[in-house]
Amino acid sequence: MGIEEKVRSSQDEIRSPQEPPQVLPVVNPAAERSTAQRSSLPAAFYVVIWITMSSSVILFNKWILDSANFPIILTTWHLLFATIATQLLARTTTLLDGRKTVKMTGRVYLRAIVPIGLCFSLSLICGNLTYLYLSVAFIQMLKATTPVAVLLAGWLLGADSINMKLLFNVSFIVIGVVIASFGEIKFHLIGFLFQCGGIAFEATRLVMVQKLLNGSEYKMDPLVSLYYFAPVCTIMNFCVSLVFEVPRVHMSDFLNLGLGTLFANALVAFLLNVSAVFLIGKTSSLVLTLCGVLKDVLLVLASILIWGTTITGLQVFGYSIALGGLVHYKLGGEKLKEFFRERSMAWSEYGNRRPVVRRILVFTTVCLGFFILTIALSNTRYYDYVTAEDEKQPKDAAGFFGSLWGGNGS
């Protein structure tokens, strides 16, 4: 659903696991870091902003789609807003000056931008439709398989040679997600298939970026790629919405939701891309990976707190395996060992300088972990109680088959 960030390099995306959430398209996130983005603000500031914006887009979209059943039109609106905004920024600011180094011709646009844009539009459509059927928490768990799909797509399209060792490494991600899927209480086959389709189209898009836009003259940051992709994706999504949604949607649906709400939603989605531009110039690939994992975990927790999503112990176990495999696949064992060794030394030095503060941080972390664990367990027990009560009530055939497909049986 929501337009999630892809701020990694194309090569990183082919070999790495972090699927940042789907924002508006990032053509070749191997963009050279812009010197115009330097400021005195610490890197942590940009990390917090990016995590906040990325999570807000997903939660905002989910909230809208819970009350308004037009996911394709919503995505089209995001893309139209992005088209207008990038055109304005290109004429009034220096944020899009990077486009001047891109050798974009009509031939390149038709042979590369259009087919990649088609895959991106289909991934957005499938992703948004998924939120009509599945919880935010479960969707984040399924998205962990994106790097596996990218790896397989790269092999199938000839972008990379088959590497069995690499396949073994990513198998832990698949195993973890499969376990989490078995633990999902409100599993919906249609939503699951839509999410698989979205991941497949996204993987194909990333591989096409690597094959069709792999030259240094095509390197773009998120905003520049949005400048080129948003118009064609807007047209494609609009054509699809004309067939599937426009005939059954009325103006009252938008007025009931609120035009201000729709404007704010599109603005947040666009600002996510702006924050990504600043983020990639301030942090390393390791920090980006760990931030992506943190964001996914926070979204799972937000799903529990906002919508009362029930997370089972089996899902926690499976998702933990998937996240561990994802980080290892992205960074490699040696880099992780080096990172933890450096963090351990820094933590010890900090404890020597400020022992009281360190004790407070440890105590706060333990309390927070206990609080999160309590929420997860209470939701599981509540579900067990409700299920037991429901089993006491007789169900007719309609109720039985309705429950299988996520309906209410009425």
pLDDT, mean of residues 7-33: 43
pLDDT of residue 232: 94
CA distances to 12, 139, 225, 359, 382 from 170, in Å: 14, 19, 29, 37, 34
Computed on alpha carbons and rounded to an integer, the radius of gyration of the chain in Å comes to 22
The percent of residues above 70 in pLDDT, for the chain, comes to 78
pLDDT, mean of residues 78-88: 95
Which is higher by pLDDT, 384 or 158? 158
Confidence of residue 346 (pLDDT cuts 50, 70, 90): confident
- Taking the whole predicted model, whether its pTM rises above 0.85 is answered as no
Q: 4 pairs with which residues across the strands?
A: 23
Distance of alpha carbon 162 from alpha carbon 158, whole angstroms: 9
Q: Up-side HSE of residue 238: CA atoms within 13 Å toward CB?
A: 11
Confidence of residue 345 (pLDDT cuts 50, 70, 90): confident
pLDDT of residue 377: 56
Q: 23 pairs with which residues across the strands?
A: 4
> Of 9-13, 217-221, 394-398, which range is least confident?
394-398
pLDDT of residue 169: 80
What does pLDDT average to over the chain? 79
How many CB atoms neighbour CB 158 within 10 A? 9
Q: Please name which of 222, 241, 230 lies closest in space to residue 54, comparing C-alpha atoms.
A: 222
Confidence of residue 378 (pLDDT cuts 50, 70, 90): low
Assess contact for 221 and 109: CB atoms under 8 A: no
pLDDT of residue 10: 42
pLDDT of residue 40: 60
Confidence of residue 301 (pLDDT cuts 50, 70, 90): confident
Structure confidence by residue, pLDDT tens digits, 98-122: 888 888 888 989 999 999 999 999 9
> Of 46-55, 62-71, 211-220, 284-293, which range is least confident?
284-293
For residue 37, pLDDT over 50 is answered with no
For residue 9, pLDDT over 70 is answered with no
pLDDT of residue 374: 67
The amino acid at residue 206 is L
Which is higher by pLDDT, 286 or 233? 233
pLDDT of residue 35: 40
- Residue 132 CA, chain-centre distance (Å), reads 16
Structure confidence by residue, pLDDT tens digits, 263-273: 999 999 999 98
pLDDT of residue 123: 94
Structure confidence by residue, pLDDT tens digits, 311-344: 888 888 999 899 888 888 877 767 767 767 777 7
Q: Please name which of 115, 139, 88 lies closest in space to residue 27, comparing C-alpha atoms.
A: 115
Distance of alpha carbon 166 from alpha carbon 15, whole angstroms: 9
- With a CB cutoff of 8 Å and minimum separation 6, the contacts of 203 are 146, 149, 150, 152, 153
> Of 188-192, 291-295, 325-329, 368-372, which range is least confident?
368-372
Which is higher by pLDDT, 84 or 186? 84
pLDDT, mean of residues 180-184: 87
Q: What is the DSSP string of 333-358?
A: HHHHHHHHHHHHHHHHHHHHH-HHHH
Which is higher by pLDDT, 196 or 369? 196
